Structure 1
Amino acid sequence: MPSVMEMKPLATFFVSHGSPRTLVDETPTTEFYKKIGEYARREGIQGIVWMAAHWETPYDTIEVSSNPNPDKDFVAFVPDEILDWYRSYKINSSPALADRCCGMLKDAGFNASLNSTAIWHQDVMIPLRWMYPDSSTCPPMSLISVNGRFDPYFHLKVGQTLRSLRKEKILLIGTGGGIHNLYTLSWHHIIYYKDTTPRTKPIENFAAAFRESMNESVVRNEGGPGLGRAMCRLLKHPHFLKCNPTPEHFLPMVYAAGGCTSYEDEGSVNAFGGENWEMNTQLNSNFVFGLPKDDTIFLGEGS
């Protein structure tokens, strides 16, 4: 059996969790979730460490959920059968994995601590609905907070700090959104019609420009330090604040990329994982980082 140092590192992922309707409606985003589940089963993963946009911590802190039986937040706008699934899903939260991650972060100089009462939100439950619909098949997981008060390099370093877990078959996944401006959404789509996918107005130029820059920053860079620099520069994009007035949904993408920014990652590739728009202005973007060039799941025809 190869040593940990000799093992091939897993890819890392950024997923957009979308609106609650993503629990129901099949889109290119939900197809990407399914591919992650396929990849995870093929690779025999042993755990998942999420960074979740809906859990923010203050000051310079970062927290890791050590709650073995976490509650979930409220979810609406879904049919009763999906609501029943959501309520009954048994989250496979691992205090041992949480303690491991917290120790690694502390050793790297972070003001990190365990949180034994944290609830888990729909930003993780939505992708799990498609990756592991049967909770009994889901591997042990841990959840890390995001800190929207700190710059992207903070979150890049979190991913870099946990990078070695990739060689232990532990997935690093950030969940958030590509363009997430709650002030501009066409809320009537979900409130009145429970249907978020139809477009009723064209994509505005500023959003199209940021979308193009975001996609190119991923796919035109290989793994390694250049990827980290490109991702952090996106927060200085002239349209970033209009697309993301607060950064908490974008920073989990920086975390996921951070896990692939070592010099050891040079030569690996990144890929676009599909997207869909909701309520006209919310862009659900998805990416995979640190793939070998011979990958057959994410780099096949049409990727």
Structure 2
Amino acid sequence: MPSNKHLATFFVSHGSPRTLVDETPTTEFYKKIGEYAREEGIQGIVWMAAHWETPLDTIELSSNPHPDKDFVAFVPDEIMDWYKSYQINSDPSLATKCRDKLKAAGFNASLNSTAIWHQDVMIPLRWMYPDYKTCPPMTVMSVNGRFDPHFHLKIGATLRSLRAEKILLIGSGGGIHNLYTVSWHRIIFYQDTVTRTKPIEQFAAEFSASMKDSCVRNSGPQLGGALCRLLSHPHFIKCNPTPEHFLPMVYAAGGCSTFEDSDSVNAFGGENWEMDTQLNVNFVFGLDKNDKRFLGGADREEYEEAEVIRASPTSSAGTLVEVRA
């Protein structure tokens, strides 16, 4: 039954296949989401996953009750056994519910009964729900291949009401995802992605700072607007030459970007770099300002600083804080 309380929404970076193995701040965030979900008694999860793109104006949801999984490599045998044996709790009825909401809002949405599930969902599940018997019902949704951020923001906004029905909205992608620049030798020869072999380049550091500012120092409509504008950031293309890994973040934020969400709080969920240039960054949106699990320390300071800016008579109406370029 719907309640007055709205769940938070989440963006997670799924990382390389080694994220199935190596514990990092990202995997710690996955565990926190699992703990949060159990405490809140969630009834389902609606994922938007970067590894599934659909053409033209379409959006699809997996309605396969027993989906297959894509190939995974660079992991030890025991993890491969877990991956192969994990039984996905796919819920066609949840997919249908989402499809109907999206169609009612004017989207060209449909069900896909043959879609396979990819590691962009399986990797977070490895840490959130390592035992498939405890996993709630789920569905996974495609990214639209036209890569319009406002399109994906509206998808999140359309499904916002599910938050009151204890359905989690989670986007899975990455903060900086440029496969042309990563140090492939780290994973191919050493199965090691977390050891750095060169400094973080300035363009990546600057985009990362802008991304964090946009997420944690805005709320309500300003949050969605700030993330959509990031696709015009001077370093966006160098960081994300194709935006499919970034748009699930916009989807997750879309579920918390109405005026009713203006008093909610967002938090940084930790990060780690892989293969030198891939940034796995994580965020939680739509928290109550008194949250103790995700909003602590530096995140609390960010929120309080943002509140000061919001109250400033010189603050512009169109944006809560200037996004660093």
Q: TM (normalized to structure 1)?
A: 0.97
1:240 counterpart residue number: 236
1:21, 1:40 → 2: CA distance? 24
C-alpha contact (below 8 Å) 1:176/1:252 kept by paired residues: yes
Give 3-state SS (helix, strand or coil) of 1:104's partner. helix
* CA deviation after TM superposition for structure 1 residue 302, in Å: 5.7
- Counterparts in 2 of 1:93-242, with a 5 A limit? 93-222=90-219, 224-242=220-238
* CA deviation after TM superposition for structure 1 residue 245, in Å: 0.2
2:267 counterpart residue number: 271
2:52, 2:186 → 1: CA distance? 26
* CA deviation after TM superposition for structure 1 residue 150, in Å: 3.3
| Identity rate, percent | 79
C-alpha contact (below 8 Å) 2:143/2:244 kept by paired residues: yes
Q: TM (normalized to structure 2)?
A: 0.91
C-alpha contact (below 8 Å) 1:148/1:251 kept by paired residues: no
* CA deviation after TM superposition for structure 1 residue 299, in Å: 1.1
Structure 1 residues 140-197: Cα deviation after superposition (integer angstroms, max 9, x where no partner): 0011000131310000000000000000000000000000000000000000000000
C-alpha contact (below 8 Å) 2:61/2:111 kept by paired residues: yes
2:285, 2:15 → 1: CA distance? 20
* CA deviation after TM superposition for structure 1 residue 300, in Å: 2.7
Deviates more, 1:147-156 or 1:49-58: 147-156
2:10, 2:18 → 1: CA distance? 21
Q: Does 1:7 align with 2:4?
A: yes
2:98, 2:147 → 1: CA distance? 20
1:46 counterpart residue number: 43
Give 3-state SS (helix, strand or coil) of 1:284's partner. strand
Give 3-state SS (helix, strand or coil) of 2:229's partner. helix
Structure 1 residues 115-134: Cα deviation after superposition (integer angstroms, max 9, x where no partner): 00000000000000000000
Aligned length: 299
1:300, 1:36 → 2: CA distance? 15
1:168, 1:266 → 2: CA distance? 20
* CA deviation after TM superposition for structure 1 residue 57, in Å: 0.4
Gaps of 5+ in 2: 300-325
Gaps of 5+ in 1: none
Structure 1 residues 192-224: Cα deviation after superposition (integer angstroms, max 9, x where no partner): 0000001110001100000000000011112x1
1:233, 1:301 → 2: CA distance? 28
- Counterparts in 2 of 1:252-263, with a 5 A limit? 252-263=248-259
RMSD of aligned residue pairs (Cα, Å) = 0.9
